[in-house]
Structure 1
Amino acid sequence: MLKILMKSLKEHKKTSLITIFLSVIGAIFEIVIPLCMADLIDFGINNKNINDVIKYGTILLIIALLDLIIGMLSAHIGAKASTGFAANLRQDMYDNVQTFSFSNIDKFSTASIITRLTTDVTNVQNAYQMLIRIAIRVPIMIIFSIIVSFRINSKISLIFLIIIPILTILLIIIILKVHPIFQKVFRDYDNLNNVVQENLKGIRIVKSFNQENYETNKFKKISKYIYENFAKAERLLAFNSPLLQVL
């Protein structure tokens, strides 16, 4: 599956690699900033040495500005890479639909194909942008944070070795709970598109037999079902932030 998806990158491979590189540099800068602040306090403020205060303050300011610039560039280039990837993927999928045999056409409904080309591609686009930015950035920050914390105080840093496995297990549990819900939601998107398509195709018949209320209620029912499942999934995902804060 990944190999098939990666074929749609095409001309956006370069921008993706640049985004990954910038994300790595940004992560390193964010680790260096606290170290500079520590040196500023230890050598400058505590020793009442104005020269060191200016020195480390200037270094801190430069690194912060560079981190800001790199973050902006990473976001901009990453957005171009992900949207370009999504455009190529959508085109490749559409081209593939044109090659469908009659058995394929019978298997996949129009609503399902529309969902694949719109909602699913958008989800893949968002996931890809997170992959080349956050998914690269976070592990590097964790690794560097552990290294730096062991360098500062090895005993206190042992807490990391306890917290990280616990956090990983809890996040895996949340993912396992949420994944089936999202699968249901994506299937329901097909039903939603199908309801809309049927209503639009048969709008004259619906109006002729005064079935507007029936069609409206049918749409509300499936829409409410999607809302409830999405809300349930988001409530579970909302535990991510408190877990990270607490641990």
Structure 2
Amino acid sequence: MFETIKRKPKIDSYDTSGLILEDIEGYIELKDVYFRYPARPDVQIFSGFSLCVPSGATAALVGQSGSGKSTVISLLERFYDPDAGEVLIDGVNLKSFQVRWIREQIGLVSQEPILFAASIKENIAYGKEGATDEEITSAITLSNAKNFIDKLPQGLETMAGQNGTQLSGGQKQRIAIARAILKNPRILLLDEATSALDAESERVVQAALEQVMTKRTTVIVAHRLTTIRNADTIAVVHQGKIVEE
């Protein structure tokens, strides 16, 4: 137990050193990246993977399960560092930024949103420290969540239940989107954001995503055609390489 408490992570989100910029454009580049997961050192995920996403553009990553699509998201969030090569935002290596600050510039919506046993309002407020009520209202409006939240007997104060058990899949996903855009991120990462939903919920969530994607650099990992139809570029990832774009 003490070993775990004393462990100094390689990527420390509490570390206050590192670069903080006035603003970022959101130009993403993965340059000749080599990567293996520490838990599976014998499996080479990327060997020389490169990808460019211009500022404000939407790039979709498609491919079989295990091809390395979600790994791109993990590297951009700096949950891991590449073994070789560079992950750059606006031409600056991700390792140079203050971890906490750069993560504040990035919004992430994943397949299974994590909701806590707290009110809907608190769940959304986790997205940004010291968020005002106006910001929360604007985030739920943008994410198409306002209409269903207003119909709930306690509105924003409704308890979400452990893991959001009180809410449907589409509702949970819209709360996750509201949380991600509360910080008004320059970069939006969507990891299979609609894959767990039925067609009707997907339509509503997709409309919400399209509203929030404008003017942001977006990377989408998807299996469904509907999610990537409006992307500027679609990259096909196969065995850790982009085989077609």
Q: TM-score, normalised by structure 2?
A: 0.23
Q: TM-score, normalised by structure 1?
A: 0.23
More helix by share: 1
User: Which structure is richer in relative contact order (CA contacts within 8 A, separation 6 or more)?
Assistant: 2
More strand by share: 2
